[in-house]
Amino acid sequence: MVGDDQETWGEGAACRTADPDELFVEGAAQNKAKAVCTGCPVRTECLAHALDHRIEHGIWGGMTERERRALLRRRPLVTSWRRLLEAARSEHQRLTGTDEDQAWDATG
């Protein structure tokens, strides 16, 4: 999409066949939309894309726009969310011997 390999990782996204109107919702419907991201193999890449490009609407990487704004405020010095989240995922995998996508610990 915007200067990265979104087309490549997007091919593996759990939401690739979902109706976009289901991912760009407000209020309580956001919890249902976030559930689509559970177990998605490219959740980290998706979230990093939304954070790095300051995407303001929709569910990306399991986070709402409000959650992403709060994260950006908490971590204003991050220049590349993709690098940060991928490094956190690699470190988690190294420490636990798993390949689970658990980079979320780096965002808190």
pLDDT value at position 100?
Answer: 53
Cα dihedral 96→50→18→14 (10° resolution): -20
Dist CA 64 CA 72 (whole Å): 12
What is the pTM for the complete model shown?
0.78
pLDDT along the chain (108 residues), means of 10: 62 90 90 91 94 94 95 95 90 79 45
Dist CA 52 CA 97 (whole Å): 28
